[in-house]
Structure 1
Amino acid sequence: MRTSIATVSLSGSLTEKLTAAARAGFDGVEIFENDLLASPLTPEEIRVRCADLGLGIDLYQPMRDIEAVPAEEFARNLRRARHKFELMRRLGADTVLVCSSVHPLAVDDDALATEQLNRLADLAAESGIRVAYEALAWGRHVSTYDHAWRIVETAGHPALGTCLDSFHILSRTSDPRGLNGIADIPGEKIFFLQLADAPLLAMDVLQWSRHHRCFPGQGGFDVAGLVRQVLRTGYDGPLSLEVFNDVHRQAEAGPTAVDARRSLLVLGEEVGLASLPEPTAPTGVAFAELVTPDAAPVSALLAALGFARTARHRRKPVELWEQGAARVLVNTGPAAGRDGTCLAAIGLESPDPSAAARRAEALLAPVLPRRRAPEDATLDAVAAPDGTELFLCATDRPGLPNWRADFEDVPRTGAAAARAVRIDHLSLTQPWHHYDEAVLFHRSVLGLDAQESVDVADPYGLLRSRAVANADGAVRIPLTVGAAPGDDTAHARHIALATDDVVAAARRFVGAGGRLLPIPANYYDDLAARFEFAEGELETYRDLGILYDRDAQGVFRHCYTHTVGRVFFELVQRDGGYQGYGAANAQVRLTAQHAAR
Structure 2
Amino acid sequence: MRTSIATVSLSGSLTEKLDAIARAGFDGVEIFENDLLGCPLSPEQVRERAEQLGLSIDLYQPFRDFDSTSPERLRANLRRAEHKFRLMNRLGTDTLLVCSNASPDAVTDDDLAAEQLRQLAERAADHGIRIAYEALAWGRHVDTYLHAWRIVRAADHPNLGTCLDSFHILSRGSEPEGIEAIPGDKIFFLQLADAPLLAMDVLRWSRHYRCFPGQGGFDLAGLLANVLRTGYTGPLSLEVFNDNFRQADTGRTAVDAKRSLTVLEESVADILSTGSPLPRPGQPGGFAFAEIATPDPERLGSLLSALGFAHTGRHGTKPVELWEQRGARILLNRAVPEAAGNGSTSLVALGLDTPDPELSAARARALLSPVLPRDRAPDEASLDAVAAPDGTALFFCDSTEPRWREDFSPTVPRGGTPGSVRSIDHVVLAHPWDQFDEAALFYRAVLGLDPHESIEVADPYGLLRSRAMTNRAGTLRLVLNMAKVGPRGLPGQHIALADDDIRATARRLRDLPYTETLPIPDNYYDDLRARFDLGEERHQELRELGLLYDRDEHGEFLHLYTVTVDRVFFELVQRIDGYQGFGTANAPARLTAQHAPAPAPAE
Q: Does 1:232 align with 2:229?
A: yes
1:540 aligns with 541
For 1:515, the aligned partner's letter is E
State how far apart, in whole Å, the 2-side matches of 1:263 and 1:486 are: 30
State which drifts further: 28-37 or 497-506: 497-506
Tell me, yes or no, if the aligned pair for 2:432 and 2:490 is still in contact at 8 Å.
Answer: no
Tell me, yes or no, if the aligned pair for 1:431 and 1:488 is still in contact at 8 Å.
Answer: no
State how far apart, in whole Å, the 2-side matches of 1:150 and 1:335 are: 60
Task: Map 1:130-141; keep pairs closer than 5 Å.
Answer: 130-141=130-141
TM-score, length-normalised on structure 1?
0.97
State how far apart, in whole Å, the 1-side matches of 2:97 and 2:572 are: 56
State how far apart, in whole Å, the 2-side matches of 1:460 and 1:233 are: 52
SS across alignment from 1:136: coil
Task: After TM superposition, give the deviation of residue 22 of structure 1 in Å.
Answer: 0.3
State which drifts further: 201-210 or 413-422: 413-422
Task: After TM superposition, give the deviation of residue 326 of structure 1 in Å.
Answer: 0.5
State how far apart, in whole Å, the 1-side matches of 2:572 and 2:119 are: 71
Q: Give a deviation string over 1:266-317, Cα, whole Å, max 9, x none.
A: 0011112751101321011000000011212111111111111110000110
State how far apart, in whole Å, the 1-side matches of 2:138 and 2:461 are: 35
1:335 aligns with 337
SS across alignment from 2:448: coil
SS across alignment from 1:569: strand
Q: Give a deviation string over 1:146-202, Cα, whole Å, max 9, x none.
A: 0000000000010000000000000002x3xx1121111000000000000000000
State how far apart, in whole Å, the 1-side matches of 2:597 and 2:548 are: 17
State how far apart, in whole Å, the 2-side matches of 1:386 and 1:526 are: 36
The gaps in structure 1 that reach 5 residues or longer are none
Task: After TM superposition, give the deviation of residue 45 of structure 1 in Å.
Answer: 0.4
Q: Does 1:525 align with 2:513?
A: no
Tell me, yes or no, if the aligned pair for 2:281 and 2:356 is still in contact at 8 Å.
Answer: no
Q: Does 1:465 align with 2:475?
A: no
Task: Map 1:15-54; keep pairs closer than 5 Å.
Answer: 15-54=15-54
Tell me, yes or no, if the aligned pair for 1:311 and 1:409 is still in contact at 8 Å.
Answer: yes
2:12 aligns with 12
State how far apart, in whole Å, the 2-side matches of 1:566 and 1:258 are: 28
For 1:338, the aligned partner's letter is G
State how far apart, in whole Å, the 2-side matches of 1:111 and 1:464 are: 49
SS across alignment from 1:536: helix
Q: 1:196 to 1:114 in 2, by over 3 A?
A: same
Q: Give a deviation string over 1:218-250, Cα, whole Å, max 9, x none.
A: 100001110000011100100000000111101
State how far apart, in whole Å, the 2-side matches of 1:470 and 1:58 are: 39
Task: After TM superposition, give the deviation of residue 529 of structure 1 in Å.
Answer: 1.4
Q: Does 1:122 align with 2:122?
A: yes
2:436 aligns with 435
State how far apart, in whole Å, the 2-side matches of 1:499 and 1:452 are: 26
Q: Give a deviation string over 1:319-355, Cα, whole Å, max 9, x none.
A: 0011111010000015376341010100000011001
2:305 aligns with 303
Equivalent of residue 243 in structure 2, options 246, 267, 271: 246
State which drifts further: 255-264 or 297-306: 297-306
For 1:145, the aligned partner's letter is Y
Task: Map 1:223-372; keep pairs closer than 5 Å.
Answer: 223-272=220-269, 275-333=277-335, 335=337, 338-339=341-342, 340-372=344-376
For 1:540, the aligned partner's letter is E
State how far apart, in whole Å, the 1-side matches of 2:368 and 2:381 are: 24
State which drifts further: 441-450 or 25-34: 441-450
Task: Map 1:196-215; keep pairs closer than 5 Å.
Answer: 196-215=193-212
SS across alignment from 1:527: helix
1:71 aligns with 71
SS across alignment from 2:21: helix
TM-score, length-normalised on structure 2?
0.96
2:601 aligns with none
State how far apart, in whole Å, the 2-side matches of 1:249 and 1:421 are: 44
Tell me, yes or no, if the aligned pair for 2:454 and 2:465 is still in contact at 8 Å.
Answer: yes
SS across alignment from 2:254: helix
Q: Give a deviation string over 1:59-102, Cα, whole Å, max 9, x none.
A: 00000000111111111111110100000000000000000111
SS across alignment from 1:289: strand
State how far apart, in whole Å, the 2-side matches of 1:45 and 1:344 are: 44
1:584 aligns with 585
For 1:386, the aligned partner's letter is D
State how far apart, in whole Å, the 1-side matches of 2:70 and 2:12 are: 38
State how far apart, in whole Å, the 2-side matches of 1:535 and 1:114 are: 76
Task: After TM superposition, give the deviation of residue 490 of structure 1 in Å.
Answer: 3.6
SS across alignment from 2:468: strand
State how far apart, in whole Å, the 1-side matches of 2:249 and 2:488 are: 17
State which drifts further: 502-511 or 140-149: 502-511
Tell me, yes or no, if the aligned pair for 2:133 and 2:152 is still in contact at 8 Å.
Answer: yes
Task: After TM superposition, give the deviation of residue 595 of structure 1 in Å.
Answer: 1.2
Task: After TM superposition, give the deviation of residue 123 of structure 1 in Å.
Answer: 0.7
For 1:286, the aligned partner's letter is A
Tell me, yes or no, if the aligned pair for 2:552 and 2:580 is still in contact at 8 Å.
Answer: no
State how far apart, in whole Å, the 2-side matches of 1:248 and 1:519 are: 38
2:142 aligns with 142
Tell me, yes or no, if the aligned pair for 2:294 and 2:336 is still in contact at 8 Å.
Answer: no
For 2:552, the aligned partner's letter is D
State which drifts further: 187-196 or 113-122: 113-122
State how far apart, in whole Å, the 2-side matches of 1:212 and 1:595 are: 35
Paired residue total: 590
RMSD: 1.4
Task: After TM superposition, give the deviation of residue 26 of structure 1 in Å.
Answer: 0.1
Tell me, yes or no, if the aligned pair for 2:192 and 2:213 is still in contact at 8 Å.
Answer: yes
Task: Map 1:417-456; keep pairs closer than 5 Å.
Answer: 417-456=418-457
1:497 aligns with 497
Equivalent of residue 219 in structure 2, options 219, 222, 244: 222
Task: After TM superposition, give the deviation of residue 39 of structure 1 in Å.
Answer: 0.4
Equivalent of residue 392 in structure 2, options 385, 388, 391: 388
Task: After TM superposition, give the deviation of residue 388 of structure 1 in Å.
Answer: 0.5
For 1:553, the aligned partner's letter is H
State how far apart, in whole Å, the 2-side matches of 1:213 and 1:491 are: 26
Tell me, yes or no, if the aligned pair for 1:343 and 1:567 is still in contact at 8 Å.
Answer: yes
2:184 aligns with 187
State which drifts further: 409-418 or 227-236: 409-418
SS across alignment from 1:154: helix
Q: Give a deviation string over 1:472-513, Cα, whole Å, max 9, x none.
A: 22110011111x466893410100011112111111123343
Tell me, yes or no, if the aligned pair for 1:429 and 1:488 is still in contact at 8 Å.
Answer: no
Tell me, yes or no, if the aligned pair for 2:493 and 2:568 is still in contact at 8 Å.
Answer: yes
1:112 aligns with 112
For 2:212, the aligned partner's letter is F
SS across alignment from 2:447: coil
State how far apart, in whole Å, the 2-side matches of 1:49 and 1:209 are: 30
1:573 aligns with 574
State how far apart, in whole Å, the 2-side matches of 1:198 and 1:263 are: 13
Task: After TM superposition, give the deviation of residue 418 of structure 1 in Å.
Answer: 2.2
SS across alignment from 1:200: coil
State how far apart, in whole Å, the 1-side matches of 2:369 and 2:203 are: 34
